[in-house]
């Protein structure tokens, strides 16, 4: 497995409410400070979540080897089956949440958020989303499945943060034109991001299933 294998799942991490929140913060009273606070909170969760999944899977794999649960290849296959189950659950959750549109009341208050409240939002919004929890578990387990060290999680974390930073980057690069670009980005994420997520997850389901059948 190359580093590119898990990177597309970063799209699933940010699609929907996460990106919409980032757009609101980038169009608020303190866009730079609030956006950076939000990114810092999200970074804490993504690093902790993927690392926890990596450590737990690695420990379970080590225990299975110690008790003689089977050859290394059988353990690797079992991890692949767990990853496949996580991906199927992820696809179901994304599909069930596809109609949860509309902006909650608290979204309108984000335009007045400061860096500390944005940091807390970054923490909460990434932890509270079942899609994000399942994605982080999938990425951590998949990296262990191929006997890769922890640092292989870093590109996934960086790409996730880069995608969340797109509204801030648009503001910095486009200046006044961002006032027109950001609402379009918000509306697209609110209405169509679940389709992209399903395509990405479906691709991983097919790829993992084919690998298990070999």
Q: What pTM was estimated for this model as a whole?
A: 0.84
Helices first, then strands: H and E counts in the chain: 9, 0
Taking alpha carbons only, the member of 49, 15, 39 closest to residue 143 is: 49
Taking alpha carbons only, the member of 16, 17, 18 closest to residue 164 is: 18
Distance (Å) of CA 5 to CA 49, 57, 65, 101, 164: 18, 18, 26, 30, 20
Task: Grade residue 70 by pLDDT with cuts at 50, 70 and 90.
Answer: low
**Which range (131-135, 136-140, 175-179) has the least confidence?**
175-179
Rounded CA-CA distance 88/137 in Å is 13
Mean pLDDT of the residues in the chain: 83
Question: Which run of H or of E encompasses 196?
Answer: helix 178-213
CA 124 to chain centroid, in Å, comes to: 13
* Residues ≥6 apart with Cβ < 8 Å to 161: 39, 42, 43, 46
pLDDT reading at 105 higher than 80: no
State residue 158's pLDDT score: 95
Asked if residue 84 lies in contact with residue 106, where contact means CB atoms within 8 angstroms, the answer is no
Length of the chain counted residue by residue: 214
CA atoms within 13 A on the CB side of 202: 8
Structure tokens at 189: 């994420």
Q: Which comes out higher in pLDDT, residue 63 or 133?
A: 133
Structure tokens at 206: 């097919």
Structure tokens at 5: 């294998």
pLDDT reading at 75 higher than 90: no
Asked if residue 13 lies in contact with residue 134, where contact means CB atoms within 8 angstroms, the answer is no
Q: 101 — phi, psi (to 5°)?
A: -95, 175
């Amino acid at each position: 497995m190359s580093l590119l294998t898990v990177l597309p799942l970063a799209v699933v991490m940010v699609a929907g409410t996460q990106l919409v929140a980032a757009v609101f913060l980038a169009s608020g009273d303190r866009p730079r400070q609030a956006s950076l606070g939000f990114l810092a909170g999200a970074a804490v969760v993504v690093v902790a979540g993927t690392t926890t999944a990596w450590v737990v899977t690695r420990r379970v794999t080590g225990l299975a080897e110690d008790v003689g649960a089977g050859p290394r290849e059988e353990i690797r296959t079992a991890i692949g089956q767990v990853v496949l189950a996580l991906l199927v659950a992820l696809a179901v959750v994304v599909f069930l949440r596809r109609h949860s549109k509309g902006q909650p009341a608290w979204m309108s208050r984000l335009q007045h958020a400061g860096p500390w409240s944005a940091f807390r939002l970054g923490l909460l919004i990434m932890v509270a989303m079942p899609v994000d929890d399942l994605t982080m578990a999938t990425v951590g387990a998949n990296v262990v499945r191929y006997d890769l060290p922890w640092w292989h999680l870093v590109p996934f974390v960086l790409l996730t943060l880069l995608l969340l930073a797109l509204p801030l980057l648009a503001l910095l690069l486009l200046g006044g034109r961002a006032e027109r670009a950001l609402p379009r980005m918000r509306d697209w994420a609110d209405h169509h991001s679940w389709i992209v997520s399903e395509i990405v997850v479906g691709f991983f389901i097919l790829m993992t299933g084919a690998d298990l059948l070999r």
